[in-house]
Amino acid sequence: MPKLLDGVWVRQQILAELKPRVEALAASKRPPGLAVVLVGSDPGSQIYVRNKVKACAELGIFSKKLTPPETTSTAELLAIIDELNQRSDIDGILVQMPLPKHIDSRRILEAVHAGKDADGFHPTNVGHLVANRKAPRACTPAGIMEMLRRYVIPVAGRNAVIVGRSDIVGKPMAMMLLHANATVTICHSKTADLAGECRRADILVAAMGRPAFVTRDFIKPGAVVIDVGMNRVEDRAEVARIFRNSEERLAQLDRKGNVLVGDVNPLDAAECAGAYTPVPGGVGPLTISMLMANTVELAERRLNGE
């Protein structure tokens, strides 16, 4: 039987360890502060932001939620970011993505002060990641590294293959695994013999945004499979194919209108992998917990004058 890598269990551990650090900061000066900027009314983004604010409240982190309208210009959003950069009660700033198409996302992300970059996306902090210096790390890959550590999964000397080269997951994931002494391959849509490259992996990270794309043909028997994907499948024939006509999944589709599927075929992972993350309940819970960890660390560094 493969080992199921429970993201909820890991999240609970991380948050429990953060709690006394937050209390110590509150006792010495003030609680950590996180500002979350949500432009417009994208339903998915609203859910993410609500969960982030909830996590702050549970830990005792001060949170400031700003919701400028969809019509906000790049210049107006830059002014909001500048004000947050100046606020002494804000240690971390998060701009919820995606932004409306008329806003220059790169300018906005680069406007966040590197010392308040709770997401780890600022070019300065990306440079610190490459140099393996202390700085906020991108939350999802940092959470994956915590999961591997807490499940005592060896990384050094292992072949790690990442499918997907995004700035948010793929590239920082590669650097973190490299710093942990894995031999790392990044694959993408132009990779020749993608399945063959993936079958070499002792640790396979799927982060390309294609439902159930990674099948048993991609998985080395006994490999650790990390599924970053979160895809909502609405087509009945597709759900039936992925879940082999599971009555439970088809009933879920009828009830909810969609079924959440990762980038890895879940039944193939359960049959071929040595350990794997489920969707939901695997990587997803880790992202917000690492956002909280980044915020606490930024507050500690500011308090210490770093």
Q: How confident is the model at residue 92 (pLDDT cuts 50, 70, 90)?
A: very high
Catalytic center residues:
52, 96, 119
Q: How confident is the model at residue 91 (pLDDT cuts 50, 70, 90)?
A: very high
Strand partners, 227: 206
Of the candidates 304, 233, 306, 290, the residue with the CA atom closest to the CA atom of residue 25: 304
Domain residue ranges in the chain = 28-114, 139-286
Q: What is the predicted pLDDT for the residue at 45?
A: 82
Q: What is the predicted pLDDT for the residue at 48?
A: 84
- CB proximity list for 27: less than 8 A, separation 6 or greater: none
Q: What is the predicted pLDDT for the residue at 124?
A: 96
Q: What is the predicted pLDDT for the residue at 302?
A: 86
Q: What is the predicted pLDDT for the residue at 70?
A: 94
Of the candidates 58, 93, 88, the residue with the CA atom closest to the CA atom of residue 78: 93
Q: Is the pLDDT of residue 165 over 80?
A: yes
Task: Classify domain 28-114 at the CATH superfamily level.
Answer: Leucine Dehydrogenase, chain A, domain 1 (3.40.50.10860)
Q: What is the predicted pLDDT for the residue at 209?
A: 92
Per DSSP, the residues of 111-171 read HS-GGGBTTS-SHHHHHHHHTT-SS---HHHHHHHHHHHHTT---TT-EEEEE---TTTHH
Give backbone dihedrals phi and psi of 5, rounded to 5 degrees, phi first: -90, 105
pLDDT digits (tens, 9 = 90+) for 28-76: 889 999 999 999 887 778 888 899 999 999 999 999 999 999 999 999 9
Q: What is the CATH number of domain 139-286?
A: 3.40.50.720
The residue-averaged pLDDT of 8-22 equals: 97
Percent of the chain whose predicted confidence (pLDDT) is above 70: 100
Q: Is the pLDDT of residue 2 over 90?
A: no
Of the candidates 272, 144, 126, the residue with the CA atom closest to the CA atom of residue 207: 144
pLDDT digits (tens, 9 = 90+) for 222-262: 999 999 999 999 999 999 999 999 999 999 999 999 999 99
Q: How confident is the model at residue 1 (pLDDT cuts 50, 70, 90)?
A: confident
Per-chain mean pLDDT for the chain: 95
Q: What is the predicted pLDDT for the residue at 98?
A: 87
Q: Is the pLDDT of residue 110 over 90?
A: yes
Q: Is the pLDDT of residue 303 over 90?
A: no
Residue 40 CA to its chain's centroid (Å): 22
- CB proximity list for 146: less than 8 A, separation 6 or greater: 10, 14, 286, 290
Q: What is the predicted pLDDT for the residue at 29?
A: 87
Q: Is the pLDDT of residue 81 over 80?
A: yes
Q: What is the predicted pLDDT for the residue at 190?
A: 95
Q: What is the predicted pLDDT for the residue at 178?
A: 98
pLDDT digits (tens, 9 = 90+) for 118-146: 999 999 999 999 999 999 999 999 999 99
